[in-house]
């Protein structure tokens, strides 16, 4: 690992986190003043109106962080085209989400705009046009026909955008999941290719960490559709960059397995597919909101709000660890040991809490009986 590159990644992460952390309070004040708040209802966990345009802080911190990297000449000219298209498209989606947060747009209009953005980035060369099967057959890559590539690329981008939008149901869940998944992509890209794309991942990690200072339970602000669209889109195209694009990769960069991005994004993907299947099986519209998401089921299992989010983080890091253990063979054992250790720590913490709670109840009833 190049020490200077590592320091730059840390610097961009910290800068992005700092910008996000100092911007959020300003957005909270503005949102309260303009009444841009999420009103509680029977499907939502909060009991008071909360500002719902926090995604603007994430977007602003990423734009400023990448601008800093550009002016410091840290951006490789070969990746500038990808970053430019990514920023333009993500900015449009942020505006789309912001409009939905303020005016509540029709699902049809939202999906139409998402498809149009997907077509735009496909035309700019960010496309899913190959599947690397060299992990099964040596030096074999399946090239996807052009028209089919357009359809699959649009489906993939729209799926990940909406998966993160649906995942954003508990305080800190979407932002924390984005941090863990972004770290997974950062490790894969950094391991296989020296490219400035890791500055995009670093800024995304930093901005979400800074946002989590105000979004984790109990939240003072929500990222809203502007935030979930923004981070979902960036992760979808990073997945394409890392594993599925013949145009964007070269011979020095082969992640080696098309399932890696799926593992890294498995939590939001699996949650979306399970919810859609449940809704269809009940004869309901797959786009009609309900309480069948993974985090809702954890709440039904008597997990509290905070533990539901933390357990989702644990599940997500486990999937990311599987992807990294496949990709980084030399570090497979320490990666898996660390991941299992995190699972064990959470399990012990959860069990000890239940035991302690049980003892407290016993002491209470014993004291009551003595009276």
- End-to-end Cα spacing for the chain: 67
365 pLDDT band, cuts 50/70/90, is very low
Q: If you search the block for the tokens 């299947």, which residue do you land on?
A: 277
Beta-bridge mates of residue 257: none
- DSSP assignment letter at 221: B
Query: At 38, is the secondary structure helix, strand, or coil?
Result: strand
**Quick check: pTM over 0.75?**
yes
If you average pLDDT over residues 215-241, what whole number do you get? 95
If you average pLDDT over residues 254-282, what whole number do you get? 88
For residue 210, report the phi and psi dihedrals to the nearest 5 degrees.
-60, -40
pLDDT above 90 covers what percent of the chain?
A: 64
Residue 256 has a pLDDT of 52
Half-sphere exposure of 152 (CA within 13 A, CB side): 16
If you average pLDDT over residues 210-227, what whole number do you get? 95
> Which runs of consecutive H residues, i.e. helices, occur in 173-223?
173-192, 197-215
Query: At 140, is the secondary structure helix, strand, or coil?
Result: coil
Query: At 170, is the secondary structure helix, strand, or coil?
Result: coil
pLDDT at 347 over 60: yes
If you average pLDDT over residues 115-121, what whole number do you get? 97
Render 256-281 in DSSP notation, one character per residue: --TTHHHHHTHHHHHHHHHHHHHHHH
Residue 355 has a pLDDT of 53
Beta-bridge mates of residue 142: 131
The pair of three-digit structure tokens given for residue 158, joined into one six-digit string = 């729209």
pLDDT at 255 over 70: no
Beta-bridge mates of residue 141: 132
Tell me the helices (H) and strands (E) count for the chain, helix number first: 13, 4
Comparing CA positions, the residue from 64, 49, 63, 57 lying closest to residue 24 is: 57
Residue 143 has a pLDDT of 82
Higher per-residue confidence, 369 vs 133: 133
Residue 213 has a pLDDT of 97
* Alpha-carbon gap, residue 82 to 126, rounded angstroms: 7
Residue 139 has a pLDDT of 67
> Which runs of consecutive H residues, i.e. helices, occur in the chain?
3-33, 55-71, 77-103, 107-123, 146-167, 173-192, 197-215, 224-239, 260-264, 266-281, 294-300, 305-327, 332-370
Comparing CA positions, the residue from 144, 12, 140 lying closest to residue 70 is: 12
Q: Output the average pLDDT for the chain.
A: 87
Q: If you search the block for the tokens 């708040």, which residue do you land on?
A: 37
Q: What is the pLDDT of residues 9-61, one digit of tens each?
A: 999 999 999 999 999 999 999 999 999 998 876 656 656 899 999 999 999 99
Q: What is the pLDDT of residues 283-333, one digit of tens each?
A: 888 878 788 899 999 999 889 999 999 999 999 999 999 999 988 888 999
Residue 352 has a pLDDT of 66
What are the distances in angstroms from CA 309 to CA 99, 177, 201, 216, 218?
Answer: 27, 9, 22, 9, 11
CB 20 within 8 A of CB 57: yes
CB 67 within 8 A of CB 232: no
Residue 244 has a pLDDT of 63
166 pLDDT band, cuts 50/70/90, is very high
Residue 289 has a pLDDT of 78
Residue 200 has a pLDDT of 95
- Cβ-in-10-Å burial (0-12, 13-18, 19+) of 300 comes to exposed
Comparing CA positions, the residue from 237, 227, 149, 230 lying closest to residue 189 is: 237
Length of the chain: 371
For residue 222, report the phi and psi dihedrals to the nearest 5 degrees.
-110, 150
What are the distances in angstroms from CA 273 to CA 88, 253, 279, 294?
Answer: 29, 31, 10, 11
Angle at 125 between CA 120 and CA 131, to 5 degrees: 115
């Amino acid at each position: 690992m190049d020490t200077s590159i590592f320091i730059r990644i840390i610097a961009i992460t910290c800068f992005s986190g700092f910008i996000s952390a100092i911007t959020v309070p300003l957005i909270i004040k503005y949102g309260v003043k303009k009444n841009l708040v999420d009103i509680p209802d029977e499907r939502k966990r909060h009991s008071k109106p909360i500002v719902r345009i926090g995604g603007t802080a994430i977007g602003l911190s990423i734009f400023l962080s990448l601008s800093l990297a550009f002016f410091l000449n840290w951006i490789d000219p070969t990746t500038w085209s990808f970053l430019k298209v990514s920023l333009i498209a993500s900015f449009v989606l942020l505006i789309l989400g912001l409009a939905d947060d303020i005016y509540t747009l029709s699902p049809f209009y939202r999906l139409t705009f998402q498809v149009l953005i997907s077509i735009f980035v496909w035309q700019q060369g960010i496309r899913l046009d190959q599947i690397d099967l060299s992990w099964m057959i040596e030096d074999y890559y399946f090239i996807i026909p052009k028209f089919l590539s357009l359809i699959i690329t649009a489906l993939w981008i729209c799926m990940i955008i909406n998966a993160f939008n649906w995942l954003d149901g508990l305080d800190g869940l979407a932002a924390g999941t984005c941090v863990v998944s972004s770290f997974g992509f950062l490790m894969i890209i950094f391991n296989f290719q020296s490219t400035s794309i890791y500055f995009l991942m670093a800024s995304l990690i930093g901005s979400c960490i800074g946002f989590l200072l105000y979004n984790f339970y109990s939240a003072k602000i929500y990222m809203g559709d502007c935030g979930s669209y923004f981070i979902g889109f960036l992760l979808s195209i990073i997945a394409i960059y890392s594993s599925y694009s013949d145009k964007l990769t070269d011979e020095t960069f082969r992640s080696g397995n098309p399932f890696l991005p799926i593992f890294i994004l498995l939590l939001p993907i699996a949650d979306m597919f399970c919810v859609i299947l449940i809704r269809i099986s009940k004869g309901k519209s797959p786009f009609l909101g309900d309480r069948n998401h993974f985090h809702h089921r954890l709440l039904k299992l008597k997990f509290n709000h905070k533990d539901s989010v933390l357990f989702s983080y644990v599940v997500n890091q486990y999937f990311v660890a599987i992807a990294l253990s496949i990709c980084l063979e030399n570090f497979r054992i320490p990666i898996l040991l660390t991941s299992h250790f995190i699972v064990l720590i959470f399990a012990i913490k959860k069990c000890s809490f239940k035991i302690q709670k049980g003892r407290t109840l016993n002491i209470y009833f014993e004291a009551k009986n003595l009276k």
